[in-house]
Amino acid sequence: MVESRINELLTFWDKYFVEEKIEIDNRGCYGAHYDGLSLDTYISDSIYDIDYLSIEDYFMTEANVPYNERISLSAQYGKLDLNAKIKVIQCVLNLLSVSSYNKERNEYIVNKSKTFLQRYS
């Protein structure tokens, strides 16, 4: 029951973090448009940009899970066990808390997420 409710949180986050992205090749030419996660922007506008090589490094180091920007959070992490999901949730909430990117929206997402999680703790 709790695990399926946690999946609702991942789906909620997808509404905010999945956005249209554009591939840019090594010459700076624009390529294909695709939907992808924007958490790389959050890490680059945070203190974590100093500590981690990339968003992939952050998720592997902190949650021991791979991160793929082309797959939604719910699709990537929805089938993990509860402990792994909790680590992913901690990673996202910590990242939002320290990122200066879209600060007002971050506070809204963090507060809403914490309220949601408190109902099931």
Q: What is the 3-state secondary structure (H, E, C) of 20-86?
A: EEEEECCCCCEEEEEEEECHHHHHHCCCHHHHCCCHHHHHHHHHCCCCCCCCCHHHHHCCCCHHHHH
pLDDT of 73 strictly over 70? yes
Query: How is 97-114 classified by DSSP, letter by letter?
Result: HH--TTHHHHHHHHHHHH
Distance of CA 8 to the CA centre of its chain: 14
Q: Which pLDDT value is given to residue 1?
A: 61
Compare 108 and 23 and report the one with higher pLDDT.
108
pLDDT of 35 strictly over 70? yes
Q: In sequence order, what are the beta bridge partners of 36?
A: 19
* Average pLDDT of the segment spanning 17-43: 80
Q: What's the CA dihedral at 104, 107, 113, 115 to 10 degrees?
A: -120
* % of the chain at pLDDT higher than 90: 77
* Average pLDDT of the segment spanning 55-60: 97
Compare 55 and 4 and report the one with higher pLDDT.
55
Cβ distance 70 to 34 under 8 Å? yes
Alpha-carbon span 19 to 103, nearest angstrom? 17
Q: How confident is the model at residue 83 (pLDDT cuts 50, 70, 90)?
A: very high
